[in-house]
A = this chain, B = another copy of it.
Amino acid sequence: MHATDDTHRPELGSWVASANQPATDFPVQNLPFGVFSRVREGGPPRCGIAIGDSILDVSAAADLGLFGETELPAALACAEPRLNALMAMGANVVRALRAAVSRMLRDDTEEGKRAEAVAREILVRMHDAVMRLPAEIGDYTDFYASVHHATNVGSMFRPDNPLLPNYKWVPIGYHGRSSSIVVSGTPVRRPKGQTRNDPAGPISVGPSARLDYELEVGAFVGPGNTMGETIPIGEAASHLFGLCLVNDWSARDIQSWEYQPLGPFLAKSFATTISPWVVTLDALEPFRVAPAERAAGDPAPLAYLSGDDDRARGAFDITLEVWLSSESMRASNTPAMRVSRGRFVDMYWTLAQLLTHHASNGCPMRAGDLIASGTVSGPTPDSRGCLLERAWRGTEPLRLPTGEPRRFLEDGDEVTLRGWCERPGARRIGFGECRGVVAAAR
């Protein structure tokens, strides 16, 4: 934890009352960044910070003189319709801005009193706002960092050879599609495509019959690296702005027919949903822990992927859940059903290792680039992060409260991802939700 950063102290409260409720994802200890538009007044999107059930309009606060000279450039960058400029400013600048916002939203400071007096001008209720993508995502990369997921899926696609020889040496990843990343709440249309479910059978073209979600954590890149330069593992965390939730929707039937030899393509590129709030690494500081120990006999990470700080606290202790509700569940007011709960600490590679590996060939990372972890699956069946694993390729269908079976997603199904951090001695913080409803194919 940073000596100068006291924004995590669990006893802090806010003059925004909803931020003090125990169940909120957004207490004053969190302060995640996002991009919003006001529903009624209209106007261009701008950057805000979540506090309870409201959003601090950062640049409105700047216009009212609520920031000091130090934080002013960063606060003014929040007038832009995306976080990229702020992300590029670096960890120290963002930390100072976030600390100033903390003082501004607390109930025990002079800054808080001044801000509360102009609350109507600087706060927007979340239900009066529409959230946008937090950044212009130049490049999106999806990794495969859960050894449990890789082993489960591998055993279905390649029973004789589930985990490939490179897995424990190379953080496996592939480039994803930026143009189809959408913010939570956007309907996701079932894709059509080529499939061949029986290797000797006919090829079909039509709506995917094996639509799936994937529970992932995404990391937004802060300051990037120059092309041809690398990012040493010890500096990786300072290149990460913050984390969000990612649903990497996948069409398993399209995937299994198209993916060799160049990897998943149309099975993924139809839609990827992310949560709108980006939780900074500073907010996650109290929840950094040592990564899970590797199994006996596994190779140690190679030197360029090994760092003292990463070994000591390279993982983030985030609990992650997937909730599912069918159209008939919602019609009958049946609450959504939790279909999995996993922990981000179960990943085989840390985010720092993923970023360092990504830049190890000199590939330039840019502020606003998104790196996703790959499906977060743990060692137990109920911690498996996709339906393919959860219902074991359709052979063990889930049973919804309405009695409906689920092998893969049906039209009208709503998938909601949630994530939060809690531990004794710290205030619980959350990610909000990452939600999407499946629309029928056209």
A263 interface contact, C-beta 8 A: yes
Contact yes or no, B189 A170, CB < 8 A: no
Chain A 251-280, CB-CB to B under 8 Å as 1, else 0, gives 100100111111111110111000000000
User: Is residue A336 contacting chain B, with contact meaning CB distance below 8 A?
Assistant: no
A303 to B154, CA, bound (A): 32
The docked-state distance in angstroms from the alpha carbon of A170 to that of B195 is 10
A48 interface contact, C-beta 8 A: no
Per-residue CB contact flags for chain A residues 360-376 toward chain B (1 = under 8 Å, else 0) read 11111110010000000
A266 in contact with B357 given A194-B169, A260-B166 (CB within 8 Å): yes
In the assembled complex, the CB of A210 is this many whole angstroms from the nearest CB of chain B, namely: 13
Contact assessment for B178 and A139 in the assembled complex, using a CB-CB cutoff below 8 Å: yes
The answer to whether B262 touches A264, judged by C-beta atoms less than 8 angstroms apart, is yes
A 216-249 binary contact with B (CB < 8 Å = 1; else 0) = 0000000000011110000000000000000000
Contact check, B263 vs A261: say whether CB atoms are below 8 A apart: yes
* Bound Cα distance A358, B192 (Å): 11
Check A408 for interface membership: any CB of B closer than 8 A: no
Of chain B, the residue at the smallest CB distance from A157 is B261
List which A344-395 residues lie within 8 A (CB) of chain B: 357-358, 360-366, 369
Smallest distance from the beta carbon of A8 to chain B beta carbons, Å? 34
The number of chain A residues touching the other chain, given as a range, is: 35 or more
Asked whether A177 lies within 8 Å of B363 as measured between CB atoms, the reply is yes
Are B264 and A165 in touch, CB under 8 angstroms? no
Contact B266 A263 (CB under 8 A): no
Q: Is A203 in the interface zone, CB < 8 Å from B?
A: yes
Residues of B within 8 A of A264 (CB): 262-263
Kindly list chain B residues whose C-beta atoms are within 8 Å of the C-beta of A228: 189, 270, 439, 442
The winner among A203, A251, A261, A303 for most chain B CB atoms within 10 A is A261
**Known A-B contacts A189-B228, A203-B302; A263 and B174 likewise in contact (beta carbons under 8 Å):** yes
Given contacts A138-B179, A260-B164, contact A173 B363 (CB under 8 A): no
- Does A209 sit at the interface, judged by CB under 8 A? no
A398 within 8 A of B: no
In whole angstroms, what is the CA distance A270 to B176 when docked? 16
Supposing A174-B263, A263-B262 touch, asked if A254 and B144 sit within 8 A by C-beta, the answer is no
CB within 8 Å of B: which A131-180 residues: 138-139, 144, 154, 157-158, 164-166, 169-170, 172-180
Per the bound structure, the CA–CA distance linking A150 and B177 in Å amounts to 23
Please name all residues of chain B whose beta carbon is closer than 8 Å to the beta carbon of A358 when the two chains form the complex. Answer: 266, 269
- Quick one: closest B residue to A374, CB to CB? B262
Contacts of A271 in B (CB 8 A): 227, 362
Q: Could you tell me the dominant secondary structure of chain A's interface residues?
A: loop
Nearest B residue to A182, CB-CB: B227
Task: Report yes or no: B262 in contact with A172, Cβ–Cβ below 8 A.
Answer: yes
Determine whether the beta carbon of A362 is less than 8 Å from that of B191: yes
Q: Are A165 and B199 in contact (CB under 8 A)?
A: yes
Least distance between A138 CB and chain B CB atoms (Å): 6
Q: Quick check: A361 and B251 within 8 Å, CB to CB?
A: yes
Residues of chain B lying within 8 A (CB to CB) of residue A364: 179-180
Question: Which residues of B have CB within 8 Å of A154?
Answer: 261
On whether the beta carbons of A261 and B164 are closer than 8 Å, the reply is yes
Residue of B nearest to A439 (CB): B228
Query: What residue in chain B is nearest A136 (Cβ atoms)?
Result: B138
- Which residue in B138, B254, B258 is a CB contact (below 8 Å) of A178? B138
Contacting residues, chain B, for A267 (C-beta < 8 A): 361
- Could you tell me if A139 and B172 are in contact, using CB atoms closer than 8 angstroms? no
Give the chain B neighbours of A439 by CB distance below 8 A.
Answer: 228
The residues of B that contact A172 with a CB separation of less than 8 Å are 258, 261-262, 265
Q: A179 near B363 (CB under 8 angstroms)?
A: yes
A205 at the interface (CB under 8 A from B): yes
Determine the chain B residues whose CB is within 8 A of the CB of A203 once the complex forms: 169, 302
Given contacts A260-B261, A266-B363, 5 further A-B contacts (CB under 8 A): A139-B178, A179-B366, A180-B363, A182-B227, A271-B362
